[in-house]
Structure 1
Amino acid sequence: MNHINTLDPGASPLDYYGFELRRHREAAGLTQKQLGDIINYTGSLVGQIETARKLPTPEFSERVDAALGTGGLLSRLVALVMRSQLPAWFQQVAELQARATEIYSFEAQMAHGLLQTPSYASTVLGTLNQTDLDDRTAVRLARQRIFEKEEPPVFWAVLFEAALYLEIGGPKTMRDQLSRLLSFENNPRINIQVLPYSAGAHAGLQGSFDLYRFAADPTIVYTEGYGSGHPTANPDTVRDCSLRYDHLQAAALSLRDSAGLIRRVMEERYGEQLDAERDPVA
């Protein structure tokens, strides 16, 4: 006899998701294995998600919605599930990102989380902490779905040139990450400028920060420390950081020249090259 874990759908978004998945599967008269076969996942994974032992992904949710005719229920729930898995201090920030109409970011040392590839994000998150790394990476990547909304935010990123050279995850990971940045070259809603070394002393020397602007609410400035985030709507801070951002954009390369620099670094530093003692690095 199968022993079915009883979930309290009110315990967490993950429990609610599992409860709804099981309810719709059973209503369709399918076993976990049968549903897994239909959506090309294992029945074991279906069971783990139903019992809140594994995080669902957006792709899994879309396939189940299509297979069970749920009207997109699980695809809507998965965003809530992913957000609930973020560190408590970051959940408010993820909500701000999801609601913002405009996001302005200055990054001093690495690509912004909303632009990271899976391998790059995994390397960043896995530094000193490998616990549940696949799930934590999936949660970070799920935040990028704000760009798939009917009205996605305008995202403007100024990236210090050092971030192109800080080798996170090895040559292939960096090549893929820089290629990802270049993939937005013709997207008017996602704009990337590089602040070159030649800019010298600049308005971002105090560190990375984000500005979140909304249709009706006050602008928020977000800065981050070790294991903590600091959003604020303080008018003086917002004015100061807005001015700093204007100066950073003015000192940065144009969109076209920024793409040219990213492409050059990708090809010259991380492109296929022959190591004297190893096989070619692809």
Structure 2
Amino acid sequence: MSRADSLRPDFSLWHLIAVELRRQRQLRKISGAALGVALDCDRSTVARYESGDVQLPIGRARILDREWGMPGFFENLVKHAKNAQDLDWWETFKEYERRANLIKTYEPSLVPGLLQREDYARAVYTTSRRADAEDAVAERMARQEILTRRDPCTLMAILDTAAVLRVFGDEDVMRAQLSHLLEISERPNIYLRVTSDRLIGYGGVGGGFTVMHTPTGDLGFANYGSTAHMSLDPADIQEQTIRYDQIGMSSLTVEASRAFIAKTLDSLA
């Protein structure tokens, strides 16, 4: 089954746009290469629009509407999709995570899920009163397979100082979690840094976010308080990548980060 065949237009407006783009192109018996010429892009980009790996930009939606005599059709779909919250956003997120070869993430409050030990994850979900805490923990542990598979994903994680100091569970849980961070940060595919504990604020401060790079397209995810935003828009992804770099410039080195985690671990002894 191809990516295009697995789309869910009943759950996602972006999937609906991808499906409808492919359907309208095939109705008109236009090749992907020919459509690429009309949209001023190559055939592979058209394929990524139709597979849902890349969101159709509103400028190119307008071109489609004009070329195909469908005033406002794709433009309005794109506008609504940008403002809508996909019902299957978590499934989309996990799919990109599974296919990612590079993930950059910043976490201001918690140890990132991909680096959590089971007891720490359980404490986090219990604190948030998740009714399905055990299922959520099992899913989180399973997701970490991307870091140890034959061709492991590279993870570049920046943790706010507070995420290292904040205790979830009891001190035994935190000791195990911090020890795990020290151990896993020695792997060649994991780069772990902590923001400087000497700074009151730093560039790019805000909610947590993640940028995932895959062989077929990139995804950006940002979380601000109780709201979240997921995007395949290159402009959004670039903005989050810049934020990551800004925070990185105000963070400790990998070596100094390990020293800070070790110092925090010793304080729990």
Give the shorter-chain TM-score range: 0.5 to 0.7
1:195/1:252 contact within 8 Å kept: yes
2:265 counterpart of 1:266: yes
State the alpha-carbon separation in 2 of the partners of residues 195 and 130 from structure 1.
Answer: 29
Distance 1:225 1:248 in 2: 16
- Please, which runs of 5 or more residues in structure 1 have no aligned partner? 1-86, 272-282
1:238–1:132 Cα change, 3 Å: closer
> What is the CA–CA distance in structure 2 between the aligned matches of 1:255 and 1:174, rounded to whole Å?
20
Structure 2 Cα separation of the partners of residues 198 and 236 of structure 1: 32
User: What TM-score do you get using the length of structure 2 for normalisation?
Assistant: 0.64
Tell me the percent identity.
Answer: 27
Q: TM-score, normalised by structure 1?
A: 0.61
User: Do 1:212 and 1:220's aligned partners in 2 also have CA atoms closer than 8 Å?
Assistant: yes
Residue 241 of structure 2 corresponds to 242
Cα 1:244–1:227 change in 2 (3 A) is: closer
Aligned equivalents of 2:204, 2:144: Cα separation in 1: 24
* Partner SS for 2:198: helix
Q: Which range moved further: 147-156 or 258-267?
A: 147-156
Q: Any conservation in 2 of the 1:106–1:204 contact (CA below 8 Å)? A: no
1:66-85 → structure 2 map (5 Å cutoff): none
1:161 shift after superposition? 0.6
Q: In structure 1, what is the Cα distance between the partners aligned to 2:108 and 2:156?
A: 14
Residue 161 of structure 1: aligned partner = 161
Question: Does the alignment pair 1:231 with 2:251?
Answer: no
Distance in 1, matches of 2:226 and 2:250, equals: 30
Amino acid at match of 2:266: E
Give the distance between the partners of 2:204 and 2:178, measured in 1 at CA: 22
Counterpart residue number, 2:186: 186
RCO higher in structure (CA 8 A, sep ≥6): 2
Does 1:220 pair with 2:241? no
Moved over 3 A (4+): 225-229
Distance 2:139 2:88 in 1: 13
Q: Secondary structure at the residue paired with 2:155?
A: strand
1:205 aligns with 2:209: no
1:200 is matched by which residue type in structure 2? I
Shift of 1:114: 0.5
Q: Any idea what the Cα deviations from partners look like across 1:183-235, whole Å, max 9, x if unmatched?
A: 12321201100002323322332211001112232x22101356764220222
1:155-193, Cα deviation, whole Å (9 max, x unpaired): 000001111111111111111111111012321201100
Task: Note closer, same or farther for the CA distance 1:235–1:130 as it changes in structure 2 (3 Å cut).
Answer: closer
Aligned positions, number:
183
Preserved contact between residue 106 and residue 208 of structure 2 (Cα < 8 Å): yes
Counterpart position of 1:84: none
Contact 1:120 1:169 in 2 (8 A): yes
Letter in 2 for 1:138: A
2:101 alignment partner in structure 1: 101
- TM superposition shift of 1:104: 0.3
Q: Residue type matched to 1:177 in 2?
A: Q
Any unmatched runs of 5+ in structure 2? 1-86
